[in-house]
Structure 1
Amino acid sequence: MRRAPGAGGGVSLARLAAALCCAALALALAPRAAADLAADRAALLAFRAAVGPRLPWDASAASPCGWRGVGCDAAGARVVALKLPGASLAGAVPPGTLGNLTALRTLSLRLNALSGGIPADIGACAELRYLYLRGNRLEGGIPEGFFGLSLLQRLDLSGNRISGGVSPEFNKLARLATLYLENNRLNGTLPSGLDLPKLQLFNMSDNGNLTGPVPASLARMPASAFARTALCGGPLSPCTTPTPTPPSPSPPLSPPPPPAPANGSKSGKLSTGAIAGIAAGAAVAFLVSIGVIFFLCCSRCRRRKADRSAGMAADADANGSPISVTVASMDKSATKRSSHAQAAGNAKKLVFLGAAPDTPYDLESLLHSSAEVIGKGWLGTTYRATLEGGAATVAVKRLRSAPIPEREFRDRVAALDALRHENLVPLRAYFYSRDEKLLVYDFVGAGSLCALLHGSGGGASPARLDFTSRARIALAAARGVAFVHGAGARSCHGNIKSSNVLVTGARDGACVTDHGLVQLVGAHVPLKRVTGYRAPEVTDPRRASQEADVYSFGVLLLELLTGKPPVNSLPGSGDGGVDLPRWVRTVVQEEWTAEVFDASIAVEERFDEEMMRLLQLATECAEDRPDRRPPMAEVAARIEHIVDSALRKTDTDDDFHSISP
């Protein structure tokens, strides 16, 4: 059946016209797109010539989309990302470079040596959402054009030399969710009307010249966000407003004042009163000092007397420590309550700290259990023991032979038992004899972090640990060590290493073990070879310190991020490991920071920011000078922020960032 020629021809002509229009439009837009990409390419080459001559960019390539650190949109028509963290960039960024990348959405130039001011034409990048300039040498104020970036969501200017005040123009950045301005030279007061409704992460610490009250909109932020500033109010201590003195009314007609005394004081009566007050205060202070000295002397005498009595009682085996324990002996299946001194009377007893276990066992059943070596160190050997019938699995630490008196051993074990925290492996029991000393702990989860990162001695290959798992393990370990440090000024771990971090079965947390063993038996055991965890100021690892713990923990973080073992850290390893702090500094200074990371996490580009922040923290912990290392409480808090940021990105399942434009 034939169609009418008029109808069919009309449809064909309409389709042809539409196709011609589309082709014409494409031809019209193609030169513009090519011109925009060419302009981006020229801006990038000018940027490289100014601050990054070592960037391995092929200048002969027509498109910059394949250059390292450069990202383009799906059509390959515009540059939308420039990520060059730790790329050895140096010098001032000239105008007409970054400002010409008008389609840019992500700009990351962290941990370089950029100097001068923030580019004044950065405001031309109207599509910019993520800007990271942390850890450079930028100085001067924030340019006015900067506040035209209305789509900006994350801003990190920390670790520079930026000066001037905090402008109320920040209110124009209404979508800002992250604002890091710490460790700069900001001054003045914060605008009282500062209001960033979507702000989630904020830090303005280490700006010592900031004064005045914290704005009401920032009062919900933690106090650490304002540390080492002169700010007040909000999460900080209340502001003290001096009460103005009202002016005294002038008498209508008063005689002229008498001439001032020759000694320069305001009046003879005032001088006498001041002297009397000073004398009275000195007398009171003297009496108080005498009373305090008398009280201290009496207290010291009482303590010495009590110590002598306790020592005599212990020597006579009459009265032991009042700490209550449970004793399991070889010849009795039942348990009984006793004191430490009673437990010492029988060399064949296992002493449980606190209540007896749910499934009772004694020393004989422990010694006849199925056991395997899971760790060796200079303080002893650790076994995994499975009791008969699989009733329980425990970790048994067999300490190196040490001539430590029993009373001293008991007291120190009691001190270790007092350290109870969810991220410390709990000590359950101990055994003491002249030739054998055992500590019994709970057995934790998936094994040691060392075995997961580097494989076990039995030939098992390393486990697959993504960045979020590693960060959560680091957080758990940091909390455990921080708790130990919080027990006292001299309380420390003394032997931080990956084999002493036991990972949970779900691989999302960890517990720290061997805490305090240096104080328990360290003074009685010989020195071992130096490992890469030891702080440079430590000549005798038996004399531990909190600062040395922080250094060791920094090396542990570097081990987590790089996947490389420190020097002399793997038993039986032929390669000897790596001096991690020195190697990382060399790579950051001379090569590409991205090459620091373990290959299994380097591909997780959406956590690029969190990896860099954790790397920065690790290098701060591993500083050569102890006074430059942060305290463990601060380390744990900073890792917590990193973990929170990573988890938000995981929950939203975004390719690179947690907040959608």
Structure 2
Amino acid sequence: MVEMKILSFILSAFLIIASVSLPVTKSEPYEDKEALLDFIRNIHYSHSPNWDTNFPACFLWTGVTCNSDNSRVVALRLPGMGLRGSIPSNTLSRLSSLQILSLRSNAISGDFPSDFSNLRNLTSLYLQSNNFTGSLPSDFSVWNNLTVLDLSGNRFEGSIPPSISKLNYLTSLNLSNNSLTGEIPDINIPSLQQINLTNNHLTGILPNSLMRYPSSAFSGNELSSQIAIPPATSAETPIPQPVRKSGRKLTEPAILGIVLGSCVLAFAAIALLMICSYSSTRKENKNDGGLPTTTISTAAKSKDKGEPALKLKKKDGGGGDSKNNRLVFFEGCSLAFDLEDLLRASAEVLGKGSYGTTYKAALEDATTTVVVKRLKEVGVGKKEFEGQMEVVGGISHENVCALRAYYYSKDEKLMVYDFYDRGSVSVLLHGKRGEGRTPLDWETRMRIAIGAARGILCIHSTRQSAAKQLVHGNIKASNIFLNSDNYGSISDVGLATLMTPTPAPAPAPHRASTGYRAPEVTDPRKATPASDVYSFGVLLLELLTGKSPTNSSSGGEEVVHLVRWVNSVVREEWTAEVFDVELLRYPNIEEEMVEMLQIGMNCVVRMPDQRPKMVDVVKMVEGIRRAGGSVSVSPGDGRGFGSDSGVEITMSTPTPPGSDRAGSSSAIH
């Protein structure tokens, strides 16, 4: 017993030393950071981007993306931030490594910034839906790497500069809804796939180089009638043939017979079509609750029940080119398909959650695989839904799964994400336990925790409105995936506020999501940053223990919650019994595990105001590895571990793998 007290004293000393140690300084784009601050200080805005000089720009600044070594800013996305006034000179133009610039959907006015000519590395420029005036730049050749140029929805005047034709890598050009005049120059760019010059005051004849595009791309101008018809004869418009004269005329009885015969044949064809349609409808109604449906792929089956993979109501299927019936893609997305392509995709069900069903869809091009989430019980209207999608789609962070596109109709709401082939953290952590399983090692679990923490902080740094910050509301292991660097990346952002609340029956259902929910949250739509911190704390405990947030006891009747179980085990000073037996094979990680355990316990205290802020959680989780690990023994200070359990965390001797484990570790399996 004396030895245990001595050990506790030594471990306490380690914690104190670790807590006052300074974090290691990471690489920062200091010059670019100063340029961004000069920009935001000299322009009016409605929504603050939360650029705090004390935080690293590459990880925590809204809309900022850096290169691999965090030495330069390569992307700046500030859509819908309420920016007003002209762009201050000598600010953004100092971001010489900038590749993507998006200032769309603001109220920026003034001329096109002349000093943007310094941004020689630009590949994508999105300035649509602002109030820019004046003429377009005369020399576009300075941006010879540009692939996407969107200046639509402004008040640009004057002619289209011929220098646009020197953008040899341009794939998309949109100058619609301006006040451009004059003739259209010869834009002969082989790589150009999309062009939109509609609703200007352009005159003259369409150049031959642009005749391959549909005439709708040039409507709303004063162009000559030569381009009023499609540029090439299509198979749908037959070429008129000369009428041959016949020496004999048909008699009236012959004409009447032909007409009657044609009517009979037409009636028979219509009747046959109606019979086939009725038969098909009855079969579909029988298979899907009476709703006629169109499957993505009739051959694609779900893994669990053998059902067709994804069905949409017929009135939502097809018509993918309709303005109100199409996929809405976000800028920077390299995916190129429409709703019809998605409906024809080979798909399988990945899972069914509280917010809807998730599918893996492999498109017919054999190179594109995406994840489609079909939402259920959406309780908001179209405007609010699309507004939330714009907020979520505008997030660009390596630890937040990017929303690539969405689809909205009265009966169907879809969201499209990238596909992560390793599956969710829940699958990696709990799947196939037993012989033949590849354990999730400690290094990967650390990266999952660090990445998820950074992603949540990025979400909390995003404004849902001028007076409200964005929260996740449904943080759990099944919503976290591994990115290309094996760090956690969080998905399903901001869906909680869109769903129709369903009152929980009594007793509450035994669902995994229940174990992640903070005790003060009764309506998921009213989640807060503090409740997100609680859910993240549960995730940390899940990574440490290898156990699900809720589970049945050995008797099978009582539901055991992970947070309560960990509290009870630690209270009995059997801390080593908390940790996943799969982690015992890795040497020299005990100190890091115990420190991670204390962070998790800090996050799951019952009182929301006693939980740490997410910015502090990120620093603590990252600090575990920087400090080299330190066993943490804390008496509690009203905000820490001690305030919830009233005990210290101590390390008992780890039980060797394969031996019987003491304590209450059998409470959850």
TM-score range, shorter-chain basis? 0.3 to 0.5
Query: Comparing both structures, which one devotes a greater share of its residues to helix?
Result: 1
| TM-score normalised by length of structure 2 | 0.46
| TM-score normalised by length of structure 1 | 0.47
Bigger relative contact order, structure 1 or 2, given CA contacts below 8 A and separation 6+? 2
